[in-house]
Structure 1
Amino acid sequence: MRVRRSDKGRRDYLVDAFALLQGWTRDGHEMRRTLPLDDSQHAALTESMKVAADALQLRAEARRLDGHTQIRVPTPEGGGLSDSEVALAARIEDLYKRITGVVA
């Protein structure tokens, strides 16, 4: 027997999954995260992040500001979070931990 989930249940699941990603925020139609990285770590994260975003067919932007890397992942206008967007945020978090050696 196949169990169908309502769209509301799916949205609740994604909101809960996103909430587990510490440091990530949603602001309007984007997800954001600011990370303390040096220039070489920023370059490594940006390159790896682009590969992950391309694989999920999403956009992700990173910029340097005052010794920090600001990450922005636009989300569709009028829509909630998607599986792919939450997966990308989680992947970026994993990349950050691998690049910096941060242990969760």
Structure 2
Amino acid sequence: MIRALWSRAERDHLDDALAQLDGWIREGCLIKRTLVLTDAQHAELTERTKIAADVLNLRPEIRRLDGRTQIKITPRDCDELTDREVTLAARIEDVHRALTHDED
């Protein structure tokens, strides 16, 4: 298998993009976020995330625990973080803002 090697500038670009997303934490090859959502908001976020994840060919882990929604996005085989994972995190943030903005 041939893998593209990410240059330092490309990794910095991803780290900069991730830093723009509130609450997302990078741990090794995965990024994660915990959100406080109602059950209905969780269900809506999960459905919308599945659509975006399918387009990006990713399988995020989304689970509900003690009234919180926990999201983990990991590259396949835990390879290097790519723009796809950061793009999915940004889409999830957009959905989260839309869901919680409706409450205001």
Name the TM-score, length of structure 2 as normaliser: 0.85
- Rate the CA distance shift 1:55–1:78 in 2: closer, same or farther, 3 A: closer
1:100 is displaced (CA, Å) by: 1.3
Unaligned runs of 5+ in 2: 1-5
Matched, 1:28 2:18: no
1:75 is displaced (CA, Å) by: 2.5
- Rate the CA distance shift 1:58–1:16 in 2: closer, same or farther, 3 A: same
- The alignment-based identity, stated in percent, is 52
Give the distance between the partners of 2:70 and 2:25, measured in 1 at CA. Answer: 12
Correspondence 1:23-102 to 2 at 5 A:
23-76=23-76, 77-79=78-80, 81-101=81-101
Name the TM-score, length of structure 1 as normaliser: 0.85
**Alignment length (residue pairs):** 96
- Please give the secondary structure, in 1, of the residue aligned with 2:86: helix
| Stretch deviating more after TM superposition (26-35 or 83-92) | 26-35
Unaligned runs of 5+ in 1: 1-5
* CA deviation string 1:55-90 (max 9, x = no partner): 0111112111111100111134342x2111110000
